[in-house]
Amino acid sequence: MGPPTLRGMGYANLRELQNALTTASDLASSLQSAPTRRDADQLVDVLRQALTAASSLGADTGPTGCAIHPHGAVDPLHGDPEDPLPPGYGKCLLCNDRRRRADAHPTHARPHARPHPRWRRRVGA
């Protein structure tokens, strides 16, 4: 199986990539000889959007990289250098939320629940 082609890309992802690249091109063309930090940051943000859109084009698992929630929300803390996610966390907000809840409320050891003998159904009855 070869690399993904434009024909195999989702229309919404392709439009997102095209829009981000057009915006990045417009921003780069309008830069002065000494761009400000704000100009550079704005260009970097748009290029990151383009990179994210391009990365999700050929992925079978969607933008989250999650097999369970391929088109779910991406965790806004993913890639945040000031507040990094714990090891093992991915991009999927739904899975990360489940992990956060599990970490906040550790499961208590419960004995295996068996029905009371009086409640058991008789075989052949």
Q: Where in the chain are the domains? A: 7-59, 63-106
- pLDDT at position 123: 55
Q: Which residue has the higher pLDDT, 88 or 124?
A: 88
The set of residues, in sequence order, having a beta carbon less than 8 Å from that of 122 and lying 6+ positions away, is none
The set of residues, in sequence order, having a beta carbon less than 8 Å from that of 62 and lying 6+ positions away, is 56, 70, 71, 72
Q: Is the pTM value of this prediction over 0.75?
A: no
pLDDT digits (tens, 9 = 90+) for 49-83: 888 888 777 655 678 878 788 888 899 988 888 88
Q: Which residues on neighbouring strands pair with residue 74, listed in sequence order?
A: 92
- pLDDT at position 103: 81
pLDDT digits (tens, 9 = 90+) for 1-52: 344 444 444 667 778 889 999 999 999 999 888 889 999 899 999 999 888 8
Rounded CA separation 9/7 (Å): 6
Q: Pick from 31, 23, 13, 12: which is nearest to 47 by CA?
A: 23
